[in-house]
Structure 1
Amino acid sequence: RASVAQICERAQTFPNQVTYYFGSKEQLFVEVACAAVLRAGRHTEEAAADATTLGEYAGTLVRTLLGPERDGVQLFTTAMVLVSRRQDLRSFTGDTLRLLHERGEAALHRTLTRTGWQLRTSIEVEAKAFWSAIFGVAVQMSAIAPDVGYSLADSVAVVFAHLGIPDTMLDLPLSS
C-alpha cells in the first residue's frame, strides 16, 4: 500500500493537491484503475482487429486481457472490491462497467453484422458475461501462485466454457 506522500512523490506534486482533487488516495486508486481497464479494453480490441475466425478473435481478446493487459484488469478487480466498502466511489466503477459493456456490445454487434451469426442470448447479456468471466479468471490468477494457476491457454478454455462457445464455432470465418 502506498501512502499519499509516496503517490505525490512519484507524481511530483504535493499531498494537498492530490487530496483536494481526488478527495482520498482510495478515490485516486479507483480512478486510475478505471482508466487502466478502459485502456486495456481498447488495446484488446485493437489486438483482435485482424482476426479471421471466431476462435482467433475471442482467443486474442482473452489472451490479451489476461496476458499483457492483465495488470489493468487486476487493478480494476481490486478497485471493485475496494468500492464494495466505499459506496461513495461506486459511481466510478459503475460508469466504467457500463462503458466496458457498451463497447463490448458495439464490438459484438459489428461482428454479428459481418458474419450473420446468431447469439444464444441478447448482446447485452453476452457482453456482461464476457467481462464477468474475464474478471473472475483475473481474480483467480492474482490470488494463486503462478505455478499453481492458469496458463493463458487454460484461461481461454475457461472463458470459452463460461460463455458456452462450442468448439464447432471456433473455426468459422469472421467475414461472410
Structure 2
Amino acid sequence: MMQEARRAARATRESGRQTRDALLAAATDLFLEHGDGVPITQICAAAGAHPNQVTYYFGSKERLFVEVACAAVLRAGKRAEDDAAAAETVGDYTEKLVGSLLGPGGPSVELFVEAMLMTGRRGELREHITDTLRTLHSSGENALIRTLMRTGWQLRAGIDVEAKAFWSAIFGLAIQKTATGESFGYSLGEAVAVIFASLRIPESVRESTL
C-alpha cells in the first residue's frame, strides 16, 4: 500500500515537472517572438496545459516571463563566450562577443531588458533578476576582462565594476536597437567602439594578440 502511494507520488511529481517544462518551452518560443504581450491562453495551448497551471507552477504570467527572460539571457551570454573563444586578437574577440549578443542573442538580451523594466514595477520579481545579473557579471569577469588583462591592459576600476560596465553597455545598445528597429549587423564596429569607450580600453589594445 505504501509502495503504491510512493509510486503515485513520483508519477505526480514527474507529471508536474513535464507540465512545468512544457510551459517554459512554449513561453520561451512565444515571448522571444512576441514579447510579454502573449496571452496566457496562447502559451497554454502551445504547451497542452491549462491557465490555472501557470499560476500553480509560476505564480503569475509575469513571473513566468521573468524566468524565461533570465534563462534566455544566460544562454545568450554562454553562446557569446563560445562564439568568441577562438578569436586571435582583442578586437576580434570583442566583435564576436558583441556581435553574438546583439545578433543571434539579441532577442534574448532584449527580453531580459523588458524583464528588468517589469521588475521596476513589480518588486516581488526582483530577486530572480538580481541573481541573473550577478551571474552575468561574474561570467563577464572571466569572458572579457581577464582576456583583456592578458594583453597587459591595466584595469581602471575593480574587475566587478568593469564587468558591470560591459553589460550596462550591452543593455543600452539593445534598448537602442529595440527603439529604432534597426539591425546592428551593419554597425558592429560602432557597437564595439561603444564597449571600448565604456570600459576605457585604449585603441592600442585592439590588435593585441590573445
TM-score by length of 1: 0.91
**Structure 1 residues 132 and 102, CA gap change in structure 2 (3 angstroms):** same
Measured after TM superposition, the shift of residue 109 of structure 1 is 6.0
What residue ranges of structure 2 are gaps of 5+ in the alignment?
A: 1-36
Measured after TM superposition, the shift of residue 18 of structure 1 is 1.3
Partner deviation per Cα, 1:46-104 (whole Å, 9 max, x = no partner): 00000111111112111110111100000000000001000000001100000000111
Single out whichever of 16-25 and 158-167 deviates more from structure 2: 158-167
Match of 2:71 in 1: 35
**Structure whose residues are more often helix by fraction:** 2
Name the Cα RMSD after superposition. Answer: 2.0
Check conservation: 1:77, 1:135, Cα contact below 8 A: yes
Supply the distance in 2 between the matched residues of 1:112 and 1:63 (Cα, whole angstroms). Answer: 18
TM-score by length of 2: 0.77
Match of 1:11 among 30, 43, 47: 47
What residue ranges of structure 1 are gaps of 5+ in the alignment?
A: none
Supply the distance in 1 between the matched residues of 2:129 and 2:166 (Cα, whole angstroms). Answer: 17
Match of 1:75 in 2: 111
Q: How does 1:40-59 map to 2 (within 5 A)?
A: 40-59=76-95
Partner deviation per Cα, 1:103-122 (whole Å, 9 max, x = no partner): 11123465257444321221
> How many corresponding residue pairs?
174
Supply the distance in 1 between the matched residues of 2:199 and 2:104 (Cα, whole angstroms). Answer: 22
Measured after TM superposition, the shift of residue 145 of structure 1 is 3.4
SS at match of 1:68: coil
Measured after TM superposition, the shift of residue 159 of structure 1 is 2.0
SS at match of 2:153: coil
Which protein has the larger Cα radius of gyration, Structure 1 or Structure 2? 2
Moved over 4 A (4+): none
1:123 maps to 2:142:
no
Supply the distance in 2 between the matched residues of 1:166 and 1:63 (Cα, whole angstroms). Answer: 20
Supply the distance in 1 between the matched residues of 2:141 and 2:196 (Cα, whole angstroms). Answer: 17
Higher relative contact order (CA 8 A, sep 6+): 1
Supply the distance in 2 between the matched residues of 1:155 and 1:107 (Cα, whole angstroms). Answer: 18
Supply the distance in 1 between the matched residues of 2:187 and 2:124 (Cα, whole angstroms). Answer: 36
